Chain A
Amino acid sequence: MAEQSQLWRFHGGLELPAHKSSSTSVPLSTVRLPSLLTHPLSQHIGSPSEAIVAPGDYVRKGQPIARATGYIGSPVHAASSGTVVEVGPHPVPHPSGLSADCVVIKTDGRDDAYQGYDPLVNYRTLNAPALRARVRECGIVGLGGAAFPTSVKLNTGARLKSLILNGAECEPFISCDDMLMRHRAEEIVAGAQIMLHALETNHCCIAIEEDKPESHESLLRALSVVGDKRIEVVRVPALYPEGGERQLIQVLTGNEVPAGGIPADIGYLCQNVGTAVAVARAVLRGEPLISRIVTVTGAGVVQPRNVEVRLGTPICHVIEACGGYADAARYLIMGGGMMGFPLRGDQLPVIKATNCLLVASDEDIRPRSPALPCIRCGDCATVCPAQLLPQQLYWHTRGEDFEQVENLNLYDCIECGCCDLACPSHIPLTQYFRYAKAEIWSQRRERQRSDIARDRFEARNARLESEKSERARRLAEKTRMLQTGAADPATKQALIDEVMKRVGEKKHSPSEESGNQ
Chain B
Amino acid sequence: MRFTPIRPPHLRPAVSVTRVMSEVLIALVPATIAYVWFFGPGILINMAVCVTVAALAEAAVLAARGRTALPQLADLSAIVTAVLLAFALPQLTPWWVTATGAAFAIIFAKQLYGGLGYNPFNPAMAGYVVLLISFPVEMTQWLPPAGMDLAGDRPGLGASLAYVLNGQLAAPLSWDVVGGATPLDDVKTQLGLMRTVDEVRSSPLYGDFGARGWEWINNFIAIGGVWLLYRRVIRWHIPVAVLLGVIIPATVFYAADPGHNASPAFHLFSGATMLGAFFIATDPVSAATSDRGRLIYGFGVGLLTYVIRAWGGYPDGVAFAVLLMNMAVPAIDHFTVPRAYGHER
Name A residues whose Cβ lies closer than 8 Å to a Cβ of B. Answer: 10-11, 16-17, 172, 246, 250, 256-261, 316, 325, 329-333, 335, 337-346, 358, 360, 364-366, 368-370, 372-379, 381-382, 385-389, 391-392, 408-409, 412, 415-417, 420-426, 428, 430-431
Contact = CB atoms under 8 A, between A and B. Distances in A.
Given A329-B1, A345-B2, A381 B11 contact: no
Contacts of A256: 341-342
Given A337-B11, A424-B13, A424-B17, A344 B5 contact: yes
B136 interface: no
Nearest to B15: A424
B258 interface: no
A408 B339 CA distance: 9
Task: Report the interface size class on chain B.
Answer: 35 or more
Contacts of B338: 381, 387, 389
Contact of A421 (B9, B118, B291): B9
Given A261-B342, A337-B10, A409-B340, A381 B5 contact: no
A415 B2 CA distance: 27
A409 B7 CA distance: 23
B174 interface: no
B249 interface: no
B15 A420 contact: no
Interface string B209-250: 000000000000000000000000001000000000000000
Interface string B243-270: 0000000000000000000000000000
A389 B8 contact: no
B16 A412 contact: no
A261 B344 CA distance: 12
B342 A258 contact: yes
B340 A337 contact: no
Contact of A370 (B5, B11, B71, B290): B71
Nearest to B237: A378
B188 to A, nearest CB: 34
A326 to B, nearest CB: 12
Nearest to B17: A424
**A250, A373, A421: which has the most chain B beta carbons within 10 Å?**
A373
Contacts of A370: 71
A378 B10 contact: no
Interface stretch (B35-43, B281-289, B312-320): B281-289
A339 B337 contact: no
A338 B8 contact: yes
Interface in B160-188: none
Query: Which of B2, B13, B114, B294 counts the most chain A CB atoms within 10 A?
Result: B13
A184 to B, nearest CB: 29
B1 A365 contact: no
B289 A331 contact: no
Nearest to B336: A389
A324 B16 CA distance: 36
Given A376-B289, A424-B15, 10 more contacts: A17-B11, A259-B340, A316-B1, A338-B11, A340-B8, A372-B17, A375-B116, A378-B235, A381-B290, A389-B337
Query: Which of A366, A374, A375 is the most central at the interface, judged by chain B CB atoms within 10 Å of its CB?
Result: A375
B138 interface: no
A391 B294 CA distance: 15
Contacts of A392: 289, 333, 337
Q: Tell me whether chain B's interface is mostly helix, strand or loop, or mixed.
A: loop
Contacts of B7: 342, 428, 430-431
Nearest to B19: A424
Contact of A331 (B6, B11, B14, B294): B6
B20 interface: yes
Contacts of A364: 10
Nearest to B117: A373
Q: List the 9 closest A-B pairs by CB distance, nearest first.
A: A417-B9, A373-B117, A259-B342, A377-B284, A332-B3, A409-B340, A424-B15, A338-B9, A386-B341
Contacts of B235: 378, 382
Contact of B8 (A377, A382, A412, A417): A417
B110 to A, nearest CB: 11
A10 B117 CA distance: 29
A364 B8 CA distance: 13
Contact of B3 (A342, A409, A420): A342
Contact of A375 (B1, B3, B17, B290): B17
B26 to A, nearest CB: 16
A378 B290 contact: yes
Contacts of A11: 341
B3 A330 contact: yes
Contacts of B75: 372
Contacts of B294: 378
B121 to A, nearest CB: 13
A191 B45 CA distance: 74
Contacts of A428: 7
B3 A344 contact: yes
Nearest to A411: B340
A359 to B, nearest CB: 9
B9 A430 contact: yes
Contacts of B114: 373
B72 to A, nearest CB: 8
Nearest to B18: A424
7 contacts: A316-B1, A329-B1, A377-B284, A378-B290, A381-B290, A386-B340, A415-B8
B4 interface: yes
A346 to B, nearest CB: 5
Given A366-B12, A368-B12, A373-B116, A378 B4 contact: no
A257 to B, nearest CB: 5
Contacts of A246: 341-342
Contact of A374 (B117, B287, B337): B117
B1 A16 contact: no
A231 to B, nearest CB: 27
Contacts of B289: 376, 378, 381, 389, 391-392
B285 A376 contact: yes
Contacts of B287: 376
Interface in B307-345: 333, 337-343
Contacts of A360: 10
Nearest to A413: B340
B115 interface: yes
A420 B19 CA distance: 16
